[in-house]
Amino acid sequence: MKIIDVRTILLTGPSTNDPFLREARKRRSAAFVEILTDGPLTGLGETYIGYFCPEVVPEVVAFFRPVLIGQGVDDIAELWRRMYHCGNYWCRLGLGAAVLSAIEAALWDLKGKLLGQPVCELLGGAKHERIPAYATGGPCNYPKDRLARKIDHYLSLGFNGFKIGVGGFYPDRGFVIESEPAAAADFEADKLAFVRSHAGPNVRVMIDGHMGNTPGKAWATEVAIAVAKAAEPFNLFFFEEPLHYTNPTGYAELCRATSVPIAGGECLTTSCEWQSFVEQDCFDIGQPDGAFNGGLGETLRIAAMFAKRGRKIATHSWGSGGAFMQNLHAAFAAPNTCIMEVAPDYAGLHSEVIGDSFRMKDGCVLPPLKPGLGITLTEEVRRRYPFIPGSGEFNSVPGKILTD
């Protein structure tokens, strides 16, 4: 079996069926890479960069395409090394690495189908019988009665854990996030007291700072410390992204200053970028995204870096169905995975790509069983979700405002 073509498929569809998430984001774009062979099998992968700037993906894939033409899938690590080296000046991290994630995933998908095995088995075998799941909840919908309905919605879907953002998202005001230490700490403590009283003591609760991706300025270290200290009585499973990634020193200081586990890393790409954060103990729990950080091989290298320091990972996943399954396979292959992010109540670019490959029972994800990644992209799906230029998500700034 030889590779005869590598191509990109861009799609746009509903962001989610979750009514609470949909208040803030109504649609999503997605970028898939498809590898064709001289036989009946194809490989499919997704890059999370397609959620943000899908238009750039086809050109990057076209750059790497000649490296793969005529090759098989016996040595995926070597094919990845060749592509990585070929784009050394611009894909050691960032955009190039993120697109490599989809190409590498498509290679693993192809190999898994060829051998009749799930990709996690090819990555060393599933290290878990099940992994706890949490519903990723996006904004913290306010007022509090709305927040209570949001929590009830996730628990009704079978989750025993959920994540909500800092600040509040109001129907008439949009995002409101305090930026002074005392005000931010008071707001989050009041919120968490309400969440605990409503959800009870046994549900896993996480909060997400979204720092660097908020409407206002990212928190200074002293703000994050004040909020984390205020959150200590509420038994958080983790506090995600309380600081911008341009502040690794602040992350390390924050980890030392609080008993709340600090999580992060979704915006970081290859293991060389992760290395400085890991060595400074910036995160108690790393959140690599195998559809963004260079691929499944890089995810396992990052997980091993955390394991050497006695720390866990919790795979990030907010791409569509391909990215989701890529991270699911990586999560099962990494022995130090402690929890998995799951998009709750997901829409067509998840459900119609995943089919019945995703299994969850009693609030936990079960190991994948289907050969490859367990994803498909039918002609019907491609027709149903035609790509809309400009549908990627970005942070609004003067002159370029995200409207949907």
- Distance separating the N- and C-terminal Cα atoms of the chain: 44
Total number of domains constituting the chain: 2
Q: pLDDT tens digits for the chain (404 residues)?
A: 999 999 999 999 999 999 999 998 999 999 999 999 999 999 999 999 999 999 999 999 999 999 999 999 999 999 999 999 999 999 999 999 999 999 999 999 999 999 999 999 999 999 999 999 999 988 999 999 999 999 999 999 999 999 999 999 998 888 999 999 999 999 999 999 999 999 999 999 999 999 878 777 899 999 999 999 999 999 999 999 999 999 999 999 999 999 999 999 999 999 999 999 999 999 999 999 999 999 999 999 999 999 999 999 999 999 999 999 999 999 999 999 999 999 999 999 999 999 999 999 999 999 999 999 999 999 999 999 999 999 999 988 899 988 88
- Whether residue 314 is contained in a domain is answered as yes
Question: Can you give the pTM of this predicted structure?
Answer: 0.97
Q: What are phi and psi of 73, to 5 degrees?
A: -120, 25
Residue 373 neighbours by CB under 8 Å, 6+ apart: 44, 45, 105, 108, 109, 112, 118, 119, 322, 325, 326, 329, 357
Residues 251 and 223 in one domain: yes
Q: Which of 326, 320, 261, 252 is nearest to 288 (CA)?
A: 326
- Whether residue 396 is contained in a domain is answered as no
Domain that holds residue 45: 3-117+378-384
Residues 265 and 150 in one domain: yes
Residues 9 and 79 in one domain: yes
Residues 44 and 152 in one domain: no
Residues 239 and 131 in one domain: yes
- Whether residue 331 is contained in a domain is answered as yes
